[in-house]
Amino acid sequence: MTSNAAPAAAAEEPLLIGLVSVSDRASGGVYADQGIPALEAWLASALTTPFCVETRLIADERPQIEATLTELADVARCHLILTTGGTGPARRDVTPEATLAVGTKEMPGFGEQMRQISLHFVPTAILSRQTAVIRESAGHAALILNLPGQPKAIAETLGGLKDADGATLVGGIFAAIPYCIDLIGGPYMETDPAVCKAFRPKSALRPQGNA
């Protein structure tokens, strides 16, 4: 486990994030994995809440993906798990199937929004099968999301699209994640609004810096 930022001052449990890169070639050493570094860099820029990460680099094997997601949720007790890779239509792309198999609630809106964002760039975005689930087990819950495999697409789907003046054109999926984590009993997450402004109903807001 690696830590980002300083230790949390609040008594609330620390935010734990699992990062999983699913790639036969990267896990086999054919080339360096780019997914996990891209995820770590984006999270470091977006989150102002201290967090720790657990990283896993694995092959496109459904049993291994299911076991990894289950371990990160149930044993490492991550609150948020982000996967990258394995979401296309190729025969070896089985990340969505593994994700749905370990989930207890499906959250299809995340995948719908990711495809909407990607369609601004490529028509083949309709071939992407990203999805999201919540896994509940032994009093703990984790939100698991499938992200694209390319670093540029990861940043776009998480943060959304902005025009030259910085106005939001299409909202990224991460804006909804902190409130989702609230609802499943996880730590209160705060973000840098210049990167991604988290949305919560007024009744769910806490004073700035008192997470």
Terminal-residue alpha carbon distance, the chain: 22
In a domain, 102, yes or no: yes
Q: Exposed (0-12), middle (13-18) or buried (19+): which is 182, by Cβ within 10 Å?
A: middle
CATH number at residue 173: 3.40.980.10
Alpha-helical regions (H) of 2-121:
24-27, 35-46, 62-70, 95-102, 108-118
Residue 160 included in any domain:
yes
What pLDDT is attached to residue 4?
58
Asked whether residue 159 is domain-assigned, the answer is yes
Distance CA 51, CA 5 (A): 7
What pLDDT does 170 receive? 83
pLDDT digits (tens, 9 = 90+) for 173-199: 999 999 999 999 999 999 999 899 999
Domain presence at residue 77? yes
In a domain, 200, yes or no: yes
Q: Which domain holds residue 143?
A: 2-204
Segment 159-164 long-range contacts (CB within 8 Å, at least 24 positions apart): 159/42, 159/46, 159/195, 159/196, 160/117, 160/196, 161/117, 161/120
| Those residues with Cβ within 8 angstroms of residue 150's Cβ, 6 or more apart along the chain or in another chain | 34
Residue 71 lies in a domain: yes
* pLDDT of amino acid 65: 98
**Residue 211 domain flag:** no
Residue 91, CA distances (Å) to 60, 115, 118 in order = 10, 20, 22
Global pTM value: 0.91
User: What is the C-alpha separation between 92 and 94, in angstroms, rounded?
Assistant: 6
Residue 12: the pLDDT is 75
- Tally the domains of the chain: 1
Return the amino acid letter for 46.
A
210: in domain = no
pLDDT number for residue 171: 85
Residue ranges in the chain whose pLDDT is less than 70: 2-11, 208-211
Residue found by looking up tokens 């499938």 in the block: 146
CB burial of residue 151 (10 Å; 0-12, 13-18, 19+): middle
